[in-house]
Chains A and B, each alone.
Chain A
Amino acid sequence: MQNVNLMAHRITVYSIIALLALPIMATFVYSLSSHWGASILPDGFTFKWYAELFSDSRFIAAFGRSLFVCVLALVLAMLLMLPTIFVVFYYFPQYDKVMNILILLPFAVPPVVSSVGLLQFYADSPFTMLGTPWILIGTYFTIALPFIYRAVSNSFIAINVKDLVDAAHLLGASTPKAFLFVILPNLKKGIMASMFLSFSFLLGEFVFANILVGTRYETLQVYLYNMRQTSGHFTSALVMTYFAFIFLCTWLGSRFSKGNLS
Chain B
Amino acid sequence: MNHNAPSLPLTTSVRYKRRLMPKLNRLKPIVAVLPFIVFFYLFQLTPLFWVLVNSFISEGEWSLEHYQEILDSAFILQGFKNSVWLAFWSSLFGLLIAACLVSSLRHLDGKIRDAVVAFTNMSSNFSGVPLAFAFIIILGTNGALTLLLKQYGIIDDFNLYGSHGLLALYIYFQIPLGALLLYPAFDALKKDWQEAAALLGASQRQYWLKIALPVLSPALLGTFIILFANAIGAYASVYALTAGNFNVVTVRIASLVSGDLFLEPNLAAAISVVLIGLLAFITAINQWLVSRSYHAKR
Contact = CB atoms under 8 A, between A and B. Distances in A.
Given A24-B123, A83-B33, A246-B125, A204 B253 contact: no
Interface in A204-236: 204-207, 210-211, 214, 221, 224-225, 228, 232, 235-236
Contacts of B39: 76, 80, 138, 141
- The majority secondary structure among interface residues of chain B is helix
B33 A141 contact: no
Contacts, number: 227
Interface stretch (B67-75, B134-142, B184-192, B216-224): B134-142
Contact of A141 (B43, B54, B116, B253): B43
How many chain B residues sit at the interface, stated as a range, is 35 or more
B33 A27 contact: no
B245 to A, nearest CB: 14
A171 interface: no
Given A13-B104, A211-B257, A232 B137 contact: yes
B181 interface: no
Interface in A167-211: 175, 200-201, 204-207, 210-211
Given A17-B116, A26-B138, A141-B43, A116 B33 contact: no
B105 interface: yes
Contacts of A121: 46-47, 50
Contact of A204 (B130, B148, B269): B130
A86 interface: yes
B47 A247 contact: no
- The majority secondary structure among interface residues of chain A is helix
Contacts of B15: none
B134 A247 contact: no
B110 interface: no
A39 B148 CA distance: 8
A113 B50 contact: no
22 contacts: A9-B105, A10-B104, A16-B97, A17-B119, A20-B175, A24-B123, A76-B39, A108-B279, A110-B232, A115-B257, A116-B47, A116-B257, A116-B269, A117-B272, A206-B235, A210-B236, A210-B239, A214-B258, A224-B133, A225-B129, A236-B133, A250-B125
Interface of B: 28-30, 32-33, 35-36, 39-40, 42-51, 54, 97, 100-101, 104-105, 107-108, 112, 116, 118-123, 125-131, 133-138, 142, 144-145, 147-148, 151, 172, 175-176, 229, 232-236, 239-240, 250, 253-254, 257-258, 265, 268-269, 272, 275-276, 279
